[in-house]
Amino acid sequence: MQIRSLEEQLGIKLFDRNSRSVELTRLGRELVPVFQRLLREFDETVTGVRDIARHGGGSVRLGALPSFAAGILPDIIVRFRDRFPRVALTIKDAIASRVMEFVLSEEVDLGVVGGELGSVPN
């Protein structure tokens, strides 16, 4: 029934059917590699999503002052990688006002600066 529904949605005939046999049409044979690739990609996507849900994953983008990035950040990265090996970590180092711009424009998820920044826009 799912194959018939697919044929209807695509507006093509994938199988020749009679009371004794079912065989792929010429077009059906040509589409087998395409459908195999799609199913493989779908399976890989489902597996990847399940893996991320089970083990954590994703990415964290960090904006930081160069002094922080060169100072204590390397030790923090080592501990972070030990605890969250499947999370991609991106670091942008810049002056404080630029780090704030990264945060406000959502180029980074977290900004690390020191001192007073004045008023922070909502």
Domain residue spans in the chain? 2-52, 57-112
Q: What is the CATH number of domain 57-112?
A: 3.40.190.10
Query: Three-class SS of residue 49?
Result: helix
Q: What is the pLDDT of residues 86-109, one digit of tens each?
A: 788 899 999 988 999 999 999 998
- Exposed / middle / buried, residue 63 (Cβ in 10 Å: 0-12, 13-18, 19+): buried
Class (C level, CATH) for 2-52: mainly alpha
The rounded radius of gyration (Å) of the Cα atoms in the chain is 26
The mean-pLDDT minimum among 29-38, 80-89, 93-102 falls in 80-89
Q: What is the pLDDT of residues 38-60, one digit of tens each?
A: 888 888 877 777 776 676 777 88
pLDDT of residue 26 exceeding 70, the answer is yes
Measure the CA–CA gap between 92 and 89, rounded to whole angstroms.
Answer: 10
Q: Supply the mean pLDDT for the chain.
A: 85
Looking at residue 69, what is its pLDDT? Answer: 82
Measure the CA–CA gap between 111 and 79, rounded to whole angstroms.
Answer: 19
